[in-house]
Structure 1
C-alpha cells in the first residue's frame, strides 16, 4: 500500500493542540462511556431506559418537533406508554417482532419507544418498498403484527395476502395529527390511535427488565441480489452508540437536532436521535429531505445541529446561495460520507465548526467518531480493531511466515477488521451463512475472531482512521484496481458537474471493466463541445490513465435510495447500451484526447471489436 503525505498522519502535537476545545466535553463523554462499557448482554439497557431518564431530567422540555406539532418529553413518553400497554394487553412479549412502516413523523417515534419499553423489536421497513420486495422484507423477520402509516397503506394492502401475519394484527395510523384526530381506519386494519386512547399513560413495569441482548430494531441493508437483508440491532448495541456517538455530540436541553434522514436507517434513528436523548434536547424531523426547504426548516426549528450523509452535503453545496444559510445556530453536524473535496468548503460556506464524521455499519461491531474534530477523518475508535495488510489483486489478507495477518504501518492503507469480544459482539444478520462469510478466525492468534468490514481505511495514528474505499466499490482495468471513490471525487470537481457515480462496465473482447461515470449537471448547465476535451484534460491531470472514465452518461436525475445511495446496480446493468436509456452517453475512444457522443455506429463498432480499448 502507498505511503501518504505527513499531513494525513496525526501526531502527538496535533492531539495536544485539540485538547483545549475537547476538555469541556470530557465529563459528559465519560458519563456516556461509563454507560457504554459497563453494559453486558444481561444487564438492563437500551432505548426505553435512556428515554425515561431523559423524561426525568427535562419533562417539560420539547422532545420532538414536526411541521407545526410539538411534544414535550412528558407528552411523548405518555403516548409511547399507551402503545406499550396495548401490545402487552394482546400478549406481545420480549423477543417478539413487529413490522413498522411509517414515514418520518411523530407516530413513528412514539411507536418505536413504546415497543422498546416492552422488549419488542421494531422492524424498520423502508417506506419506499413495494411488491414482492416489501413482502420479502416483512416476512423475513417473522413479525407478530404490523403498524403502517396511511402514507404506506396502499403498498402494504397490495401484498397483504402474501404476509404471514394474523389478520387481526394489522394496525394503522392516519396521516395527520392523530393525537387530535384519530381518523377512520380502512377495512381490515385496527386504528391504533383509537384503541390506545383509554389506556394508562404511566411507564410499563417492563422497561427495566429489558436486557442488552434483547433486540431493539431490525434495520435492512441492500442485498446484491436486490432483496434486502435484515440486521439485528440490540439494546446493548444501542447503548454503545448512545454512550459514544450520543455523548460526543454533546447536546443539552437548549439544542435542536434537525434530521431529514430516513429513520429506517441507523444514521437517523440511532446516531442522530442518540445525541438528542443523551442531552434531553429536541429532535426536529422532516418527512423527506428537500434542498430548497433545508435552511428554511433550520431557521423555523431554530436548529443548532444537523444530521447528514455525504450526498446531502453535496446537494447543499450545489444549491444556489441563500441568505437563510447564514445567521442560524447550527455549529455542529453528525453523520458519515463527507467527501474530502468539499469538507473545508462546507464548513466555511455554512459556518460549521464541528463535523462529527463517524464510521459505523448496521451490522458491524467497530465504530469511529471524530471526537477531537480533526478534518478529513472518520475519527477515533475506542473499540478493539485492527487495520491489516490486504492484497487487492488476490482479494485476500497478506500473511506473515507463520500464517498470521499483518497490521499496516502508520500512514498506510489496509482492511479494517473489528475484534469480536463480549463488549463488542457481532450481532449479525438473520442469515447464519452470511454471518460465517464475514467473520475471520485465527487472525493474530489461535482462537481470536474479527468482523471483516470489507472497507479499506488509512491508519493515521492515535486510533484515528480515514475511509478510503469499499472493496466492493473497486473494479479492475488495464491490470490495475480502480477506486470508484477516488474517481467520483475527481469527476465531481469538474465545474459543470453536480454529482457523479462511478462503476465498471464490460466491453466485449477486453479484460476487466472499463470506467463509466454517470453525472448530473448543475442547474442550467449543458456540456458544449469544448467540454469534451476539457474534461479529458482535467481527468488526465488528476487521475492515472487507467482510471480515466471511458464512458460518461449524462443523467437527467440521479436515482438514489431513501438512504441517499446511488442505484449502481441498475446503472451497471444498463452500462453503455443505447437501447437501455435515452440519456446521452459520451465515449473516449482509443488514442483520442476528447470525448465524443456515442452513436449507434460507434456502439456497433465497439461490439464488433473495431476499437482496441
Structure 2
C-alpha cells in the first residue's frame, strides 16, 4: 500500500503541458495496440479467456466480497454455462439477453454465451415497461438470462416477447412470488449438474474477430435506448489499448462498481483486466460508504469512474489517513476541473485518464498526459480519424465549404467532434459497427 501522507500541498498548482511529441508517442503505442487483432482473425473473447486460464489458472480473477474465483474457476463455470445454453438450443449468432446485477454469475453467463458464439445483449437492470420491451424486441433475443434480483422488472412489464426466462438464483435477493410458465426455475440446478470441462471450440470455430459479440444499450438521452454493436475485435482491442496506456500488469486490481450493462465496466475494466491477467473486485452497486474500505481491503489500484461518483466521494467528511491507499489510476469521463483538482489535493497523486467517446462511436479521445481538466489532445491530426468540425450553435448546423464539405475548426471556434468511418479489411479501428 502506498503511503501518500507526505503530500501535504496541492499536487498540480499550475500545470505545464507535456511536449506534444511525448503525447503523440503514447498515442502511437495505443494505435499499434488497437491493430493487433485483424477483422478476419478466428479469435474471440472466449479464446482469450481460455488462454489466460491456461497461462495462470490459480490467479484470482473475480473477487466478490469474501468469494474469490481464479481464472481456471471462472473458465470452468463458463464451460458449465455454455453446455446448458447449447442444450437449450442456442447456437452461434443467436442473441441472448442478460438482466442481472453485478455479481460473478453475470460473468459466468456472459463468458458461457461467447464460448458457443452467441451474441450477448446487456439489459439495464433499472428499466421496465416500454424501454424493457423495446430492448428485448430490437435485439431479437431468443431468451433472457434473468437474475432473481431483476425478476420484478420483467414481471411488472406487459407486452414482453414470448421467449423463455432462464432464472439465476440470487441468495441475497430471494423471490417469493408465483412465477409464470416461461420462467425456468430449475436453470441453476442444470448449471450445477453440467460438466465444467472444456467446451468444444468447434462450435464457434467460424466466428471471426469482426463478428458481433455484445449489444450494449446507449443511455437513451434522445429517445429510447439503442443497441450498439460490439465486435470481439473491438472489445479485446479496448484491453490491448488500455494495457499500454496505463502500463497495466497482472499485479493490478480493478474495481468494478459501475453497472456491467454499461460499456465502461463491461469493456474498459473487464477487457483490460483479462488482457493482463489482473483481478477484478466486483461490487453490485457503487457505495460511498464502502468505496475506500473496498480499495484498502483489496489493494485496488485501478478505478473506473463517472464524474458523479467522484463528486459524491468528495462531499464526504474529511478523515485521517485519506492518502493511505493503493489507488494509482483512474479512468472515465465527466470529471470537472474543480473536482479533479480537489481529488488530487485530498487523496494524492493518482493519475487520471479522462476520456471522450460513446458506446456506439468509431472515434475517441483520452487524456494520456494527466493534465487536469482535459479529455485529451491530438498533436498530429494525420494519425487519427477524429476531426473537429465547425458547428453553428444558433442554427444547429455545420457550415460547409463551396464543395459541400464540413469545415475544420480553428482554435477558439465552436466545433463538434466526429470520426470518419474507416472501411478496410485489415483495419478494425475507425469502423462503425
TM over 0.5: yes
1:436 equivalent in structure 2:
none
Change (3 A) 1:318 1:177: closer
Does residue 347 of structure 2 align to residue 350 of structure 1? yes
Q: Distance in 2 between matches of 1:350 and 1:361?
A: 29
1:387 equivalent in structure 2:
388
Change (3 A) 1:57 1:370: farther
Which of structures 1 and 2 has the larger relative contact order (alpha carbons within 8 angstroms, sep 6+)?
2
Q: Distance in 2 between matches of 1:316 and 1:373?
A: 20
Give CA-to-partner distance per residue, 1:438-492, whole Å, 9 cap, x none: xxxxxxxxxxxxxxxxxxxxxxxxxxxxxxxxxxxxxxxxxxxxxxxxxxxxxxx
Does residue 162 of structure 2 align to residue 165 of structure 1? yes
Give CA-to-partner distance per residue, 1:97-117, whole Å, 9 cap, x none: 111000011011111111122
Q: Distance in 1 between matches of 2:408 and 2:37?
A: 29
Match of 1:264 among 238, 261, 269: 261
- Kept in 2: contact 1:45–1:239 (CA 8 A): no
Change (3 A) 1:211 1:365: same
1:288 equivalent in structure 2:
285
Q: Distance in 1 between matches of 2:294 and 2:301?
A: 12
Spell out the pairing of 1:51-450 with structure 2 (5 A cutoff): 51-159=49-157, 162-166=159-163, 169-176=164-171, 188=181, 189-190=183-184, 191-201=186-196, 202-205=198-201, 206=203, 209-224=206-221, 226-323=223-320, 325-379=322-376, 383-410=384-411, 412-422=413-423, 423=428, 424-427=430-433
- Alpha-carbon distance, 1:333 to partner: 0.8
- Kept in 2: contact 1:261–1:288 (CA 8 A): yes
Q: Which moved more, 1:37-46 or 1:235-244?
A: 37-46
- Kept in 2: contact 1:147–1:173 (CA 8 A): yes
Q: Distance in 2 between matches of 1:338 and 1:185?
A: 45
Spell out the pairing of 1:531-610 with structure 2 (5 A cutoff): none
- The runs of 5 or more residues in structure 2 that have no matched partner are 1-13
- Alpha-carbon distance, 1:323 to partner: 3.5
Q: Distance in 1 between matches of 2:109 and 2:244?
A: 24
Change (3 A) 1:114 1:398: same
- Alpha-carbon distance, 1:241 to partner: 1.7
Q: Distance in 2 between matches of 1:113 and 1:323?
A: 42
Q: TM-score, normalised by structure 2?
A: 0.85
Q: Distance in 2 between matches of 1:421 and 1:274?
A: 23
- Alpha-carbon distance, 1:85 to partner: 1.8
Change (3 A) 1:420 1:208: same
Larger Rg: 1
Give CA-to-partner distance per residue, 1:284-311, whole Å, 9 cap, x none: 0111111111111111222111110011
- Kept in 2: contact 1:98–1:147 (CA 8 A): yes
Number of residue pairs matched by the alignment:
406
Q: Please, what is the CA RMSD of the aligned residues?
A: 2.9
Q: Distance in 2 between matches of 1:225 and 1:304?
A: 35
- Kept in 2: contact 1:9–1:410 (CA 8 A): no
- Kept in 2: contact 1:367–1:383 (CA 8 A): no
- Kept in 2: contact 1:150–1:173 (CA 8 A): yes
Q: Distance in 1 between matches of 2:73 and 2:239?
A: 22
Q: Distance in 1 between matches of 2:284 and 2:316?
A: 20
- Alpha-carbon distance, 1:174 to partner: 1.1
- The runs of 5 or more residues in structure 1 that have no matched partner are 1-6, 428-613
- Alpha-carbon distance, 1:193 to partner: 2.5
Change (3 A) 1:365 1:156: same
Q: TM-score, normalised by structure 1?
A: 0.61
3-state secondary structure, aligned to 1:196: helix
